[in-house]
Structure 1
Amino acid sequence: MRFSRRRVAVDGAVVIVTGGARGIGARTAELFSTRGATVWIGDVDADVAAATAAAMPRCRSARLDVTQRASWDRFVAEVVAESGPVDVLVNNAGVMPLGAFDTESEATTDLILDVNVRGVLNGMRAVVPSMVSRGRGHVVNVASMAGMIPIPGMVTYNASKFAALGASLAARREYADSGVTVSAVLPSAVRTELASGVPLGGGLPTVDPDDVARAILKTLRTRSARTSVPGWVAPGWALVDALVPEALERAVRGRINDRRALTALDPQGRSAYLERLERQSKDHAAQLDSKVTP
């Protein structure tokens, strides 16, 4: 199966970045903007997104709830009306609650799966058909190395990122001859608010949002199926997973304390993110209730 190598030029491209108000999304929007793209930030926190966009040339924003197809339809319609067809979609929006699986609320489970999985699927559905009709386009789904490496304290998050990676690889093959490519970017632990209150390092590589933004931009040139950040992590883990006995892997994991998302969280350091997650979870639960209430 061959994949189109028809490149999307960054200069002049129309680019959507979801979850672009902060962190990886904001740095990605900035990088594309400085390279001459017209960038649209979509984020559920519309006020923060507007402030982020205002600091960049050729950057606009609008409210986007990635879990809702109707919100996507409104957002993409505004982008197309103002800036033209979408050339690049960066599905970056994501949430990362941590902790014991058996105490996770149903509302939290719903939020993780709907943002991290349904949000990716909704985004592709919203833009890929028009890309196919034009014979060109590029989608980048920001997954995580948690889409390959299982980690205690992240059961549902792991599930969501494994799903995001699988969806990316399957969509890539489905649209292989259409001129549209789909790439997955898998960061290791990123120094953003999502990782606040979590001890980083200790055998797990950490990166900055700028590192991830550069990897996202690079996929427009490479059109690679899967890119980890740092680049050696995904191939390295694939070798470990294939060749290292589970008992040895378990011993190494114990030495680096891979259970830190269960045992070493700092609630104080994570409080601001948890408060935002709680608001988002309640809003999302209310939306779900409204769909089933007669």
Structure 2
Amino acid sequence: MNSRTRQELRGKVVAITGGARGIGLATATRLHRLGAAVAIGDIDAPRVKAAGEELGLAMHGELDVTDSRSFTEFLDQVERELGPIDVLVNNAGIMPVGPVAQEPDTVSKRILDINVYGVILGSKLAVRRMLPRRSGHIINLASLAGETFLPGLATYCGSKAAVIGFTEAARREHRGTGVRFSAVLPTFTDTELAAGTQGARGMRNATPEAVAEAVLSLIVRPRPQVRVTPASGAMSMSQRFMTIPVADFLLRAFGMHDAFTTKVDTEHRRAYESRARGDETS
């Protein structure tokens, strides 16, 4: 990382949702070490407190991204303690897996509430603060699953497709205002979300650090989208030029037709599924 990049990041106020673990924590760690003023929020109050204290962050707190009051209070606290928010990273998300016919309505709603409404709510609350200053950047964590549709992840894929569409429309809407919108589309990443599942045959999962690096690259050089990893991103983009039968054939060839249905290690995944589905604090 060159000195110019460090200079650009130093003192920037960055708020990250879902910051207690996984991609959110990796992003907070990377930006904090480069001199950004980082705040993390998470629904898991003990975990976010421990993560914030371990990193030495100036601000960390409990945050329910599905609750307007909670989100507003979190952003208010960030601005009181750190200053006007330069970047909001809407990272919080969940990924329960399994056949859609067996998915309880409460789980479907929870996925949409966190993955879609949480992103829209955070974006609206942040952009209202940024527009008067004509400056700010909202980075939304989507997924390659939002453009590569997989059995066993129907609601999750739908939620991430919604994030991609929302972010791109908001980006166009705010062109010329000084407020930027970007989306990060990771492949399956080595976090708890992917516990007990296998990635695409012959393709490597992303690491949380690689996704954090992608977020960093957007802050330094804003652009509409970035895909992680490059190989998975290229494969995902190529499908738009394929016929449906060819795309379906490749899905099977890469072993993704049953990776989130019959090939899931349910015991290895049990703790994450319980938390993601709301059986315990997530």
Under TM normalisation by the shorter chain, which class is it? over 0.9
Structure 2 unaligned spans of 5+: 1-6
Measure the CA separation in 2 of the matches of 1:61 and 1:82. Answer: 10
Q: Is the 8 A contact 1:41 1:59 kept in 2?
A: no
Structure 1 stretches of 5 or more lacking a match? 1-7, 285-294
Aligned to 1:97: 96
Aligned to 2:4: none
Match of 2:198 in 1: 199
TM-score (norm 2): 0.93
Q: Secondary structure of 2:197's match? A: coil
Give the structure 2 partner of residue 17 of structure 1.
16
1:38 maps to a residue whose letter is A
Alignment of structure 1 residues 1-294 onto 2, 5 Å: 9-242=8-241, 244-258=242-256, 259-278=258-277, 280=278
Deviation at 1:235, TM superposition (A): 4.2
8 Å contact from structure 1 (residues 17, 92) kept in 2: yes
SS in structure 2 opposite 1:269? helix
When residues 282 and 270 of structure 1 are mapped into structure 2, their CA distance, relative to the original with a 3 A threshold, is: closer
User: Would the aligned equivalents of 2:13 and 2:87 in 1 still touch at CA under 8 Å?
Assistant: yes
Q: Take 2:248 and 2:123, find their aligned partners in 1: how far apart are those partners?
A: 37
Q: What's the secondary structure of 2:198's corresponding residue? A: coil
Measured in 2, the distance between the counterparts of 1:168 and 1:154 equals 21
Q: Which amino acid aligns with 1:73?
A: T
Residue 197 of structure 1 contacts residue 269 of structure 1 at CA under 8 Å; is this kept in 2?
yes
Residue 205 of structure 1: how far off its partner (Å): 3.5
| Superposed CA RMSD | 1.7
d(CA) in 1 for partners of 2:196, 2:175: 41
Question: What's the TM-score once normalised by structure 1's chain length?
Answer: 0.89
Query: How many angstroms does 1:282 deviate by?
Result: 7.2
TM-superposed CA distance for 1:56, in Å, is 1.5
Q: Which amino acid aligns with 1:231?
A: P
Counterpart amino acid of 1:185?
V
| Partner SS for 1:194 | helix
- Percentage of matched positions with identical amino acids: 36
Q: Is the 8 A contact 2:187 2:233 kept in 1?
A: no
Tell whether the 8 Å contact from 2:16 to 2:89 is kept in structure 1 after alignment: yes
**Shift, 1:204, TM fit:** 4.0
2:156 alignment partner, SS class: helix
Question: Which whole-Å CA distance do the structure 2 matches of 1:33 and 1:41 have between them?
Answer: 11
Q: How far, CA to CA, are the matches of 1:59 and 1:198 in structure 2?
A: 36
Q: Give 2:247's aligned amino acid.
A: E
1:170-204 CA deviation, whole Å, 9 max, x = no partner?
11111111111111000001000010010224144
AA of the residue aligned to 1:82 = E
1:290 aligns with: none
Q: Is the 8 A contact 2:88 2:139 kept in 1?
A: yes
* Distance in 1 (alpha carbons) for counterparts of 2:68 and 2:279: 18
> 1:47-100: CA deviations, max 9, x gaps?
100111111134421110001111111111111111111111000000000000
Cα pair 2:38 2:58 within 8 Å, conserved = yes
Give the aligned residue type for 1:260: A
Task: Note if contact 1:50-1:60 (Cα within 8 Å) is conserved in structure 2.
Answer: no
